[in-house]
Amino acid sequence: MGSYDEFEKWLKDHYPAGLVRFQEPMRLHTTFRVGGPARYMVMPCGPDEITEVIRWCRRLELPWFVMGNGSNLLVSDHGYDGVILKLGRQYGTVCAEEDRLHAQSGAMLTRMARLAAEKGLAGLAFAAGIPGTLGGGLMMNAGAYGGELSQIVERVQVLDQEGRIRELTGEQMGFGYRTSILGKESLIALAADLRLKPGDQEKILAEMDELNRKRKEKQPLEYASAGSTFKRPEGYFAGRLIEDAGLKGFTVGDAQVSEKHCGFIINRGEATAGQIWDLCRIVQERVYGLFHVELQMEVRLLGKF
């Protein structure tokens, strides 16, 4: 407890009350709308603050985790007994200059796509309906409808394990299907430059509207979820395998395999993280038992399950 006491004193001495929360319910910060309390939630406003919080966590040997909008995260009902660094609105500036967007990692992808369209810049319309931040998108190489961040990332500013701020090119990011070097080397994305192409504003906005129409038609956006729950297995579609396994609409408590799109596990209102996790394991076991295909989670787990 001594380490936590020292950290708490430092937080109170250095952070305004609005940027630090204690025993913060994580259900308020994830799109699944589940999760117990985080002992501390800190909302840094700049790279130096992020570096300093992590330095203190490492010095005191406290567990810590960096998150964005929580759109790809399942937090335990027991919460997280450590420090959450939430990079969100307070660390989400975006600006356009010629054919580039520069954004901090807490910027929402939807906001970035809208700004690009307003500036007549093409190449980011696919992100108009992705409910995550740039940082999370870079971690997972976010994509939809044939577009991925890997196609437009020019450079990324990262914080490495030694506390150094480095710059990586798009090629050095090691992008793959729902992966990048960030997760492999425990790097934290601080900001990025995206290179786009001049386009017709009306056409870009129309494309975004059409993609959002398709999302509403095919995805259960009326329910809390983390988007696609499982990665696409090579040669298959996760949703089709789950439906063929007879699991469409299958429930554990208020957690359900969506009847609209079987690739989504949804919270019908009062689901717990434990119920969602139990349902995910049932899906994995049933699909493997029937088709010998191993479904890997696209959603990240945080806390004890």
Q: Which residues participate in catalysis according to the annotation?
A: 178, 228, 298
Residues pairing with 66 in the sheet: 85
